[in-house]
Chains A and B, each alone.
Chain A
Amino acid sequence: MSETNETHGASSEEERAPKRVIGTPPQVQGHDLLPSDGDGGESSGYKLDPVKARKAERAAAFFFFLTFLAGIAFIVFYAVWPGHVGNDDIVRAMHSNYALGTSLTVIFIGMAVGMTIWVRHLMTTKEIIQERHELASPAEDREVFNEYFLQGAEESGLTKRPLLRRSLLLASAPLGLLPILLLRDLGPLPEKKLRHTSWKKGTRLVVDGTGQPLKPSDFNSPGGIITVIPEGAEDNLDELAKATVLLINVPEDQLKVKKGRENWNVGGIIAYSKICTHVGCPAALYEQTTHHILCPCHQSTFDALDGAKVIFGPAARPLPQLPLGVDSEGYLIATSDFHEPVGPSFWERGRPKV
């Protein structure tokens, strides 16, 4: 800051005093903010120290060369190594990712650093002060616009001819509805689809993944839990999104059976919808000691012993229970569909039946 320092009476104390900068430090160090007149010749820029400039040029060139090398490396990695497909696992993809990614990073970092050195140490452009232009138009422009506007409106006759105006408005009104109307065939109407699943009287419970039907004796470990689906729905994702069920084996003596659900469980085996009543995630976590079912998405917690009633979290309703029975061959079956809609709430759902 030597040339901008005030020199009058600079005592030793003042020179020792720290120079504080508040806010953004000034852009130029050691230069006047404004291009001063007569600083030697036609160029308005700064004079560079030739030695430093030469050094900066070499540094920038080094980084640009680095980018060049990385570019070549990228091409080589892509074409030669590990170019052939044929390994059995994803190691190749991993190596390729590192090799290509590292080259790409170096390409850009070299470019970035080189350009930065160039702009900071080699450009002689000075800071300038520019006037801001007035954003608003001169008053005269506004007047002329107003005049033209009124004149045009008058000439078009739109202001004088209400029939023309109104019929034009009427003509365009339906046009706005057409795009919305055209979207009607995006999908079917919901009708009662959300109220039913494919469970019905006699549908066998099969294990999700293997498709095996289950006998109560296959599932006799207390505290056991398994995901089951209706037989025949194995490959139907739309059906799985509604009909998936948690089969839980709870101690029969601790089970609080709701009125009207006395014959819905088989021994301690009880079935609840796995689709959370909050926003539909699978409520997949089960704590054996407390018999709590937890949805991992938003932590709604249901009590498996007490009709899956909500004991914590944002879900408003218990998980619907599926009435269970055993068919003539001894396999677990549903004795009906769910008695209420499964999954998240919706406007038409109405009060749950108790």
Chain B
Amino acid sequence: MTTQAPPKAVDGAIGFLDERFGTAGFLRGKMKKVFPDHWSFMLGEIALYSFIILLATGTFLTLWFKPSMSEVVYNGHYTKLVGVHMSEAYNSTLRISFDVRGGLLMRQIHHWAAVMFVASLTVHMLRVFFTGAYRKPREVNWLIGLGLFTLALLEGLFGYSLPDDLLSGTGLRITQGVMQSIPLVGTYLFYFAFGGDFPGHDFIPRLYTVHVLLIPGILLALVGAHFMILWHQGHTQFPGKNRAQKNVIGKPFYPVFMIKAGAFFMFTFAVIAFLGTFAQINPIWLFGPYTPDSITAGSQPDYYMGFLEGALRIMPNWETNLWGHTVSWNVLVPALVPLGLIMTGAALWPFIEQWATGDKRIHHIADRPRNAPFRTAVGMTAVTFYGLLWLAGGNDVIADKFHVSLYATTWFFRFAIFIGPVIAYNVTKRICLGLQKKDADIVHHGVESGVIMRLPNGEFIEVHEPASDEQKAVLTGKDPLPELAIEAEDENGIPSPSARGPLGKLRKNLNRAFTVDDVPADGHDEGHDDTSPHAEEELQPGGVEPGGTGGSRAISHH
């Protein structure tokens, strides 16, 4: 195949590289790589771009920031603090804000990018969870993602603790109090971390090294791994016409996806720059320097720490003293349990699902959340749990704005944290099943056309259009779960040996949870002429039928 050569500059460069690294052969397969399109696939991209912005602005800030607790007297442009004793860390942050041109902008962009990073990671993870995109072969990338998320939380906490203003110092004090409460080793951890008493002189410099070197290094490595695995395995796609497990439909990386991604990076940067310009964030000069004996009312951490703060606030004041040792359940439980539950649950989930459903197949087609009601409901349970804790972190703000008693809000959340998730589970499941039934209805009877027809007997009916191929491909794109071998019972109803033990029973129950209310959308309509409207069915109210699963069975048993 002879073609034109690209311009000399490109040809020369590729020639140079190719003779040394075999670049052309490597790039040949990559340039046309297809990325499927969906708005929700861009959420992870926002996180990636925010991370790049964080690295760039963070590097800028290190050029002036002095991570030191040495005491200095402020003598800068902010007259209200002139003459005040403060640490060099706080002093240099004030200097970045007021004396370095663009410094305040970079600081605010850095902070907003951090908020955006954690927020987009969260939403991206929810997208991956609810669409089942963590399933085989992507479990490892899911775990890497969880690692990224946990590190991002820590990195954020450490970052806003560095300027040593009153708010960040209060956050550190709480962190230290939690550390101190850890049984057996708590006081040792505290004294080693802080190099002595709180606040001491060592912690800020140490935190700085962790914040600008250690964690970003690990984050960078994990982001690299995450992206390389994504590239290697290919992206999932939603069900649709012509889309299959074995193919991927979309536009090629070069030139389309590349420029699209570039444009999206620019959009992300534009939004963050806009926020950094006009939405003031962390105005440390208003808080003053940290001293352990001062505090401002309404102290709130950055939003992503809010759920831990909420857990600390609503926990009852339990503490036990046994054999001369104190265990502070009031601190330990809120500090470890919510994060532990969510992260451990998320990490184990792909493997629990595989075990319970016996589904070891490769999945490249993402689930629509409604088609996995149990998973979606469990996900919403976790979201509600998190959301309520997060709200509880602002119980003083809620009490203040809505003029209710502070204690009443606390008591509300103490109960809501248990009741809310249960409600969320059931409501979500019902919604999913309702949507599934609606889908099945559309597949079988088509969509309402808005055309009213009068029958010879005087009766009015609405003509239903058969669903388009594209619609049908989406609606019937769900992949039924395979039968689990241990479900088998012999003719006397005796379960197989593997299902008898407690683990077997658990597995069977879980399997039931995954499959029990599934509404089949396809597979039963062969030979059923559903392109012509059926008068007797058209008269039924369209969409969701009340009365639980009975209706759905009726639809599916044609």
Using a CB–CB cutoff of 8 Å, the interface residues on chain A facing chain B are: 13-14, 16-24, 26-27, 33-34, 78, 83, 85, 87-90, 92-93, 96-98, 100-102, 104-105, 108-109, 111-112, 115-116, 118-119, 123, 125-132, 135, 183, 186-190, 193-194, 208, 227, 229, 235, 237-238, 240-242, 244, 274-275, 278-282, 284-285, 296-300, 310, 312-317, 343-352
Contacts and interface: CB of A to CB of B under 8 A. Distances in A.
Interface string B176-188: 1110111111111
B474 interface: yes
6 contacts: A23-B240, A27-B37, A105-B270, A123-B255, A238-B198, A348-B324
Interface stretch (B219-227, B345-353, B443-451): B443-451
Interface in B413-471: 442, 447, 449-451, 463, 465, 467-468, 470-471
Interface in B201-245: 202, 233-234, 238-242, 245
Contacts of A280: 173-174, 176-177, 180, 198
B542 interface: no
A49 to B, nearest CB: 19
Interface residues of B, number: 128
Interface in B293-347: 293-299, 309, 312-319, 321, 324-328, 330-331, 334
Given A108-B266, A316-B318, 8 more contacts: A92-B77, A227-B293, A229-B293, A278-B317, A280-B180, A296-B295, A312-B410, A347-B182
The 8 A-B pairs at the shortest CB distance, nearest first, are namely: A101-B277, A279-B177, A112-B266, A316-B319, A241-B292, A115-B263, A108-B270, A17-B449
A187 B174 contact: no
Contact of A190 (B190, B266, B295): B190
A297 B299 contact: yes
Contact of B102 (A78, A190, A284, A343): A78
Interface string B125-155: 0000000000001000000000000000000
A92 B331 CA distance: 45
Nearest to B267: A112
B197 interface: yes
Chain B at the A interface: SS class: mixed
Contact of B277 (A102, A128, A347): A102
Contacts of A194: 180, 187
Nearest to B94: A90
Contact of B325 (A83, A190, A348): A348
A83 B101 contact: yes
B331 A345 contact: yes
B188 A88 contact: no
A281 B295 contact: yes
A23 B78 contact: no
B173 A19 contact: no
B551 interface: no
A109 B270 contact: yes
Contacts of A130: 32-34, 247-249
B241 A346 contact: no
Contact of B71 (A83, A127, A235): A235
Interface in B25-84: 32-34, 37-39, 71, 77-79
A190 B557 CA distance: 72
A132 B365 CA distance: 12
A18 B266 CA distance: 37
B43 to A, nearest CB: 15
Contacts of B85: 235
B191 A189 contact: yes
Contacts of B98: 90, 92-93
B119 interface: no
Nearest to A239: B197
A55 to B, nearest CB: 19
B263 A112 contact: yes
Given A89-B79, A241-B198, A27 B250 contact: yes
A317 B242 CA distance: 66
Given A18-B449, A96-B101, A108-B269, A129 B249 contact: yes
B396 A299 contact: yes
Given A104-B105, A238-B200, A279-B331, A186 B192 contact: yes
Contacts of B328: 316, 344-345
Contact of A282 (B32, B242, B292): B292
Contacts of B266: 108-109, 111-112, 115
A262 B484 CA distance: 74
A193 B186 contact: no
Q: Name, among A78, A111, A284, A345, the residue most crowded by chain B CB atoms within 10 Å (CB to CB).
A: A345
A238 B263 contact: no
B269 A101 contact: no
A274 to B, nearest CB: 6
A78 B313 CA distance: 46
Contacts of B186: 346-347
B105 A132 contact: no
Nearest to A115: B263
B465 A14 contact: yes
B368 A23 contact: yes
B291 interface: yes
Nearest to B362: A135
Contacts of A285: 297
B397 to A, nearest CB: 12
A115 B187 contact: no
Interface string B382-401: 00000000000001100000
Most interface-central of A104, A130, A238, A298 (chain B CB within 10 A): A298
Contacts of A279: 173-174, 176-178, 181, 312, 331
Given A238-B199, A241-B199, A300-B317, A118 B465 contact: no
